[in-house]
Chains A and B, each alone.
Chain A
Amino acid sequence: EVQLVESGGGLVQPGGSLRISCAASEFIFRNYWMHWVRQAPGKGLEWVSFIKNDGTFTTFADSVKGRFTISRDNAKNTMYLQMNSLRADDTAVYYCATGGDNYYDSWGQGTLVTVSS
């Protein structure tokens, strides 16, 4: 069974930086496109970022473009989200997600990022 485990969340001050990770197992990670999705407290799901299986193509939501960077290390079966210039409205649970067909069939349990002074 596909396993995705996020880590690295925590409390960070406004303007600060944080890198979160998504460790994958039980599937051929290098073959799969990967996404980050977040959910702010009491709010709906928001797509954040995408990275192609070989890491050569990435896209971002307008709300994070220029502040967040997505990357992956296929040798380590791990994806990353580098978050800079963090704002209060970035506070959310961040999930990594993937799927073979055109939908997410696997999600991690999420990691909470709190931006507050």
Chain B
Amino acid sequence: QSALTQPASVSGSPGQSITISCTGTSSDVGGSNQVSWYQHHPGKAPRAMIYDVTKRPSGVSNRFSGSKSGNTASLTISGLQADDEADYYCLSLTTTTTWVFGGGTKLTVL
């Protein structure tokens, strides 16, 4: 159960789009349709932005979208806004019914 690989940081200007990748193996991301993404502002509870690879929970802006190709899942945020600045984590179910988070990506809105 190694942590999924995410870039440590990404940045973008307001209005731009960014993509955060999440790379695992065939035992987790590649073998699961239960990949979710969480936005985490320090001191607050994490908030799910994407689940089941591509679905958005109720109330999440359609600026957030998810995809997957092979062993890599991706979160794309379009039309960046200042309050998108946060840490983002992917989470995947594995083939042994455990779960594994990515290492986290710090998004900076310039």
Given A50-B97, A102-B93, A105-B48, also A44-B1 (CB < 8 A): no
A-B contact number at CB 8 A:
61
Interface size class of A (residues with CB under 8 A): 20 to 34
Give the total of B residues in contact with A, Cβ under 8 Å: 25
A32 at the interface (CB under 8 A from B): no
B103 at the interface (CB under 8 A from A): yes
What is the bound-complex CA distance between A41 and B4, given in angstroms?
A: 19
DSSP majority for the A interface?
Answer: loop
Q: Chain B nearest CB: distance from A117 CB in Å?
A: 28
B64 at the interface (CB under 8 A from A): no
Q: Is there an interface contact between A47 and B51, defined as CB atoms closer than 8 Å?
A: no
A45 at the interface (CB under 8 A from B): yes
Given A45-B89, A46-B101, also A62-B1 (CB < 8 A): yes
Give the interface of B toward A (CB within 8 A): 1, 3, 34, 36, 38, 40, 45-46, 48, 51-52, 57, 87, 89, 91, 93, 96-104
